[in-house]
Protein backbone atom coordinates (compact mmCIF):
# COMPACT_ATOMS: atom_id res chain seq x y z
CA UNK A 1 0.00 0.00 0.00
CA UNK A 2 1.27 3.48 -0.84
CA UNK A 3 1.12 5.99 1.98
CA UNK A 4 0.76 8.90 -0.44
CA UNK A 5 -1.22 9.42 -3.61
CA UNK A 6 0.26 10.21 -7.00
CA UNK A 7 -1.22 13.73 -6.82
CA UNK A 8 0.31 14.30 -3.39
CA UNK A 9 3.71 13.16 -4.63
CA UNK A 10 3.53 15.32 -7.76
CA UNK A 11 2.55 18.43 -5.78
CA UNK A 12 5.30 17.71 -3.27
CA UNK A 13 7.92 17.42 -6.04
CA UNK A 14 6.79 20.79 -7.44
CA UNK A 15 7.27 22.42 -4.04
CA UNK A 16 10.64 20.75 -3.50
CA UNK A 17 11.82 21.91 -6.92
CA UNK A 18 10.51 25.43 -6.23
CA UNK A 19 12.69 25.61 -3.13
CA UNK A 20 15.78 24.37 -4.97
CA UNK A 21 15.19 26.87 -7.77
CA UNK A 22 15.65 29.58 -5.12
CA UNK A 23 18.37 27.79 -3.11
CA UNK A 24 20.25 25.52 -5.53
CA UNK A 25 21.94 22.45 -4.03
CA UNK A 26 21.83 19.39 -6.26
CA UNK A 27 22.93 17.00 -3.51
CA UNK A 28 20.25 18.13 -1.06
CA UNK A 29 17.69 18.13 -3.88
CA UNK A 30 18.46 14.48 -4.64
CA UNK A 31 18.21 13.69 -0.93
CA UNK A 32 14.77 15.31 -0.66
CA UNK A 33 13.51 13.28 -3.61
CA UNK A 34 14.93 10.13 -2.00
CA UNK A 35 13.11 10.94 1.25
CA UNK A 36 9.89 11.41 -0.75
CA UNK A 37 10.37 7.96 -2.29
CA UNK A 38 10.88 6.45 1.18
CA UNK A 39 7.70 8.13 2.40
CA UNK A 40 5.85 6.80 -0.64
CA UNK A 41 6.80 3.26 0.32
CA UNK A 42 5.75 3.73 3.96
CA UNK A 43 2.61 1.95 5.07
CA UNK A 44 1.60 4.84 7.32
CA UNK A 45 -0.58 7.45 5.58
CA UNK A 46 0.54 11.08 5.68
CA UNK A 47 -2.16 13.28 7.16
CA UNK A 48 -2.26 16.98 6.33
CA UNK A 49 -1.51 19.29 3.45
CA UNK A 50 1.29 18.67 1.00
CA UNK A 51 2.81 22.12 1.71
CA UNK A 52 3.69 21.22 5.29
CA UNK A 53 5.10 17.85 4.24
CA UNK A 54 7.25 19.37 1.48
CA UNK A 55 8.57 21.96 3.91
CA UNK A 56 9.16 19.22 6.49
CA UNK A 57 11.13 17.13 4.04
CA UNK A 58 13.34 20.11 3.18
CA UNK A 59 13.75 21.08 6.84
CA UNK A 60 14.71 17.50 7.72
CA UNK A 61 17.25 17.17 4.89
CA UNK A 62 18.96 20.56 5.27
CA UNK A 63 19.24 20.12 9.04
CA UNK A 64 20.34 16.48 9.00
CA UNK A 65 23.20 16.12 11.43
CA UNK A 66 22.52 19.43 13.20
CA UNK A 67 22.24 19.16 16.95
CA UNK A 68 20.05 22.25 17.20
CA UNK A 69 18.24 23.00 13.91
CA UNK A 70 16.93 26.54 13.87
CA UNK A 71 15.50 27.00 10.40
CA UNK A 72 16.54 26.65 6.82
CA UNK A 73 20.11 27.88 6.20
CA UNK A 74 20.28 31.00 4.06
CA UNK A 75 16.58 31.80 4.29
CA UNK A 76 14.47 33.64 6.84
CA UNK A 77 11.68 31.59 8.41
CA UNK A 78 9.09 34.05 7.07
CA UNK A 79 10.44 33.66 3.54
CA UNK A 80 10.46 29.87 3.82
CA UNK A 81 6.88 29.91 5.11
CA UNK A 82 5.82 32.04 2.17
CA UNK A 83 7.63 29.84 -0.36
CA UNK A 84 6.15 26.63 1.06
CA UNK A 85 2.73 28.00 1.95
CA UNK A 86 2.92 26.56 5.47
CA UNK A 87 3.75 27.83 8.95
CA UNK A 88 7.10 26.97 10.53
CA UNK A 89 5.36 25.18 13.40
CA UNK A 90 3.70 22.84 10.91
CA UNK A 91 6.94 22.42 8.95
CA UNK A 92 8.88 21.51 12.11
CA UNK A 93 6.16 19.05 13.16
CA UNK A 94 6.24 17.41 9.72
CA UNK A 95 10.06 17.33 9.78
CA UNK A 96 9.95 15.45 13.08
CA UNK A 97 7.45 12.99 11.58
CA UNK A 98 9.63 12.58 8.47
CA UNK A 99 12.56 11.81 10.74
CA UNK A 100 10.54 9.12 12.53
CA UNK A 101 9.39 7.53 9.27
CA UNK A 102 12.76 7.65 7.53
CA UNK A 103 15.14 6.77 10.34
CA UNK A 104 13.11 4.31 12.42
Task: Summarize pLDDT for 73-84 with one digit per residue, the tens.
Answer: 889 999 999 999
Torsion sign (Cα): 48, 39, 7, 75: positive
Q: Which residue has the higher pLDDT, 97 or 3?
A: 97
CA angle, residues 14, 97, 34, in degrees to nearest 5: 45
pTM reported for the whole predicted model: 0.92
3-state DSSP helix/strand/coil % of the chain, to nearest 5:
65, 0, 35
What pLDDT, in 10s, does the model give residues 42-61?
A: 887 788 999 999 999 999 99
Amino acid sequence: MNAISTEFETECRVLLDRYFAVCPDSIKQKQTHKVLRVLRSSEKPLQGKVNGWAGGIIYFVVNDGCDFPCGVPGMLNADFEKLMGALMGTIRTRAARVRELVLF
